[in-house]
A and B are shown apart, each in its own frame.
Chain A
Amino acid sequence: MKMKSALMGAACAFAMAPLAAQAERGADGHVNVIYWQAPSILNPFLSGGTKDVESASLILEPLARYNEKGELTPFLAQDIPTLENGGVAEDLTSITWKLKEGLLWSDGSPVTSADAVFTWQYCTHPEGGCAQLSKYQGVSTVEAIDDLTIKVNFGAPQPNPYGPLVGGQSPILQKAQFENCLGTKASECTEQNFNPIGTGAYKVVEFKTNDVISLEANPNYRDPAKPAFATMTFKGGGDAEAAGRAVLETGEFDYAWNLQLAPSVIAGMEAAGKGKTIVGFGTLVERIEMNLTDPSPSLPEGERSTAAHPHPFLSDLRVRKALSMAIDREILTEVGYGQAGRPTCNLVPAPAAFASPNTDCLVQDIEGAKALLEEAGWTVGGDGIREKDGMKLKILYQTSTNAVRQDFQALIKQWWSEIGVETELKNVAGSVFFGSDPGSPDTFPKFYADVEMYANNFDGTDPQSYLSAYTCDKAPSPANQWQGENINRFCDPAYDELVAELGRTGEITKRQEIAIRLNEMLTKDSYVIVPLVDRGRVSAHSNTLGGVVLNTWDSELWNAADWYRIK
């Protein structure tokens, strides 16, 4: 497989070389892209949904993006500011970016540092409801030093200064277009939100919300030879099967995003020979989270699943560890994700320097799990279910509705029954489960179940904010309307202290050490979080679409400017 793709890459490069010499903007006609979730808005600051951010990335660009290896690559900036080149201040309180010269918006006006300053004002306006506000966390001001120089100042030393204006979620808006859209006016600017003026390779011709975007090559794009396609149709909606079918089987479309399908289904589609799949890995980990508090319905509302009542058996490390040992992650990966998954024991699986080498959990150990439960005092009762002091080892296991998750539930239920644990399965519609409606008993932060399963990741390459979600004060409770990220209600003062230390540390190797330590405290030391699969992204493109590089660290369409038709 590796060999084959390497050869393909070489062949592509070879085929591209003569093309590039005579390449001309718009020479390759039309390209069709399908996302099975339809974009509803083209302003990523007002949505946050992947579909919206990625479709907007065709039009709007940041100063720099992460490339397919997770390295920062300049887009609108001339280069990446670092401590070494003096772009980042010694005391880590500011970063200075320089725009490329001669950049134009698609309407022909020049791009200046004032646009970047405006973007910061736009997103941080207190009434704007900007979805990417956390990108500007800690930013005190953004100034325009001159027309091309932007300086971002932080209130306190910022070990990772690459948040604002970097990555697909935080592109630069045109000041002239959005000037009257600040604050509460943000949602009144429908025209602007649906047809943003950008610097990207394409510009919007027509946007039909929740359906389709018609685009054409940006006449003012900085590389006169790009993009190779004159027009693009970006269709949204339906389901992953239909999207996969349209690219791999019927050939109606050239690119399909995120085919969350069973491996055998994808293999069957690929066999039709009209296209191929590509896989990339990021930081998305499917995991089981253990509830350390008692979710019993017999407790009064307001005390259920709160720190007031520790969980009757999941608060015992041995039970948690036994549950993890009974799981065969290889099989889960094979059944659910195939080539797009890797078994993992880590919450932070990437970037490699931040990932713990821990592989303890990869081998299933049913006997070991049984022994551990015996040791903890859980003996097998008459019905094959373990019990202790009259309490049975019964677990309510919830997750969102999703074919692969339901398969995982069924498999894990069977393994747990082998070690004498009875499991009741429950699935909840994603729109309820992932919401945070304090009135609903079925949301994931409320956690009215013993264990739950979902996937989460972090933006960019630095896991600091991701790991700091598990501090004591972030536990959801009625006091904070169940708005917390520490859904396990994990609370360890040593962990909190280490998180604080991470926030103070600027040196990169030291940061990596701390992150690895934090990751292990949550996983192999305590089994509060039981990682299952490091989930990659599978997308598909037709055989005639060249130049595709799958990037999981930024928008998948990050290099759409380089796409071309293989003739």
Chain B
Amino acid sequence: MTDQTIDLKAAKPRNQWWDVWDQFRTHKGALVGMVIFAIIVLGTLLGPFFWDVDPKYINIRSRELGPSLAHPLGTDQLGRDMLARVLAGGRITIAVGLTAMLLSLVLGTLVGVLAGYFRRLDGLLMRLTDLFLALPLLPLLLLMVMLFREPLVISFGPEGGIFVLIVFAIGVTSWMHAARIVRGDVLALKEREFVLASRSIGTPARRMILRHILPNVMSPIMVSATLGVANAVITESALSFLGLGFPPDFPTWGRLLNDGLPYINLAPERVVWPAIALSALVLSINYIGDGLRDALDPRIRGR
């Protein structure tokens, strides 16, 4: 999300971004969110160097153990170390969650702004949105996997290919909400005085959208971003459950949740840890989004 807005406004003078950063820094929640987010990302990136247990290594003799020094989060039903699995799973989960969310947000915002701003496009784009909303998700995903799995696996390797496929599949099936919400806001914004004023001085459409429309629909976009990450992670787990996702021995948080569920009575920690990790990730992104929105709003920044 941040990258995108920065690109859009790259032409502006640099010092304004310092203002934004200053405002962002004063937002306590956003800072806490940043720190948590950094901990999660660094933990999953660097964690495996400090905890160098192979997440796929099966030690059948030590299965279904509770937490101990050797296995701080216990082991699963095949004796694989849960800590190593949560760490390894985090990397791919975060990558899928963030990229799929970005893709769906970019698509959704694009469609929403175009439909809301240009009346001629509205009918067509909104009918397209209706179509995508109405399509049954599961057969659509099955079809996409069937058509694209092998070519992608051949060109990007088994894991890379499936990563591209999953991000693409989640992205193209989840942009519709953002599009509808953004469009609704744009429809109202378009008739506001400042937009009319700006239009009367002959501002071209492209600049109108980037300058005046987009910054004012930031807050629903931010909310969609937060909810989008959670949604992408859960969809990913549903995909792997259906056998459409990563190879079955590949841990992701969604799959860990799924796998641990039958054992919820015997070993609740197997569900609790991935759930905490997932909630913490979403919560931190939410707070960052909050802070960013405040920081980007010049009215608040001035105060």
Contact = CB atoms under 8 A, between A and B. Distances in A.
Interface stretch (A404-412, A483-491, A551-559): A404-412
B248 A442 contact: no
B242 interface: yes
A311 B261 CA distance: 40
Given A410-B78, A410-B249, A428 B58 contact: no
Nearest to A413: B249
B262 A406 contact: no
13 contacts: A241-B261, A261-B262, A264-B266, A297-B154, A331-B60, A401-B243, A401-B248, A403-B259, A407-B78, A409-B249, A411-B60, A425-B249, A426-B247
A262 B262 contact: yes
B197 interface: no
B142 interface: yes
A413 B247 CA distance: 12
B71 interface: no
Given A401-B242, A409-B249, A442-B146, 10 more contacts: A262-B262, A268-B266, A335-B63, A335-B77, A400-B243, A409-B248, A425-B249, A427-B247, A433-B243, A441-B146
Contacts of A47: none
B190 interface: no
Contacts of A428: 243
B150 A265 contact: no
Nearest to B154: A297
A411 B60 CA distance: 9
Contacts of A331: 60
- Sorted from nearest, which 5 A-B pairs have the closest CB atoms? A427-B243, A401-B243, A406-B248, A427-B248, A425-B247
Nearest to B153: A297
Interface string B18-44: 000000000000000000000000000
A480 interface: no
Contacts of B242: 401, 429
A432 B143 CA distance: 11
A414 interface: yes
B241 interface: yes
B177 interface: no
Contacts of B64: 264
Interface string B48-73: 00000000111010011000000000
Nearest to A272: B265
Max chain B C-beta neighbours (<10 A), residue from A410, A432, A440, A441: A410
Contacts of B165: none
B243 A335 contact: no
Interface string B231-261: 0000000000111100111000000000101
A479 B40 CA distance: 54
Contacts, number: 73
A405 to B, nearest CB: 8
Nearest to A424: B158
Question: Size class of A's contact patch?
Answer: 20 to 34
A335 B262 contact: no
Interface of A: 241, 249, 261-262, 264-265, 268-269, 297, 331, 335, 400-401, 403, 406-407, 409-411, 413-414, 424-429, 432-433, 440-442
B263 interface: yes
B247 A424 contact: yes
- Looking at chain A's contact residues, is the secondary structure mostly helix, strand, loop, or mixed? helix
A113 to B, nearest CB: 47
B243 A440 contact: no
Contacts of B261: 241
A337 to B, nearest CB: 13
A343 to B, nearest CB: 15
A409 B58 CA distance: 11
Max chain A C-beta neighbours (<10 A), residue from B78, B158, B263: B78
Contacts of B241: 401
A261 B266 CA distance: 13
A249 B264 CA distance: 13
Contacts of A433: 243
B60 to A, nearest CB: 6
A406 B246 CA distance: 12
B293 to A, nearest CB: 40
A441 B150 contact: yes
A411 B58 CA distance: 7
A331 B249 CA distance: 18
A432 B142 contact: yes
A429 B243 contact: yes
Contact of B266 (A265, A400, A406): A265
A235 B154 CA distance: 46
Nearest to A428: B243
A364 to B, nearest CB: 11
B220 to A, nearest CB: 35
Interface in B258-297: 259, 261-263, 265-266
A427 B244 CA distance: 8
